[in-house]
Structure 1
């Protein structure tokens, strides 16, 4: 990128500064599965203790999780997602859907069921009209955007 070029201002880039790393998202996955303690998160993600400690602190600082002490001697903590952290479940579901389709089409390693009883197939829909948002997304010219583009 040329030195004089400014990167596009974007919430995607801002979000990736916090969660855009493998161990961070896998830690959130474990918390969504109800794993609350450090050793369980480390075991299920494969992250080293020092990396996981760093990622959990970053998530706490960003308001995505909070620590709760469950033992005084020695001091031990559980991790709990905040409402902002629970919202990342939607992001992880979409990542999983993409991976199932493009990386594991014949045998997805994990499936979730919706409360209706069927295998969950998440979609992103427009909150205004209710139509699937995969097609027709565009950025209008204006604040923080380059000329209009369609994804």
Structure 2
């Protein structure tokens, strides 16, 4: 089997879903020059259900990590929809991770590692990125995590 981002993703036990359609008046991604800007992705489980809840309230860090991984899968689905092939990704430049957090919850960086670690496993050194991990009171549809990203793309 050829060593590609998609084959590495499959080896990790993940299946790339179809890219999620926008839920409001926006586009799921924009290509500007050599950058792909991806709108916020929310965590859909493999069965299509949403991963909902608030960290430090009804969810623990492990559940948050799993939700962040599912957001990363959504980001990769958008990359494939935009580029046709994940091999066109030159670098994951930046991830902005929003974590629905109860007052006093401060482990947003550990939750965000779910997405960051998966990007490195799938893209290698090109998956290392700048990142923000921010706690928020609530996210759309009651989800636990939302992540948007900027990706450098190949010609």
* Higher radius of gyration, 1 or 2: 1
The structure whose residues are more often strand, as a share, is 2
TM-score, scaled relative to structure 2: 0.26
The structure whose residues are more often helix, as a share, is 1
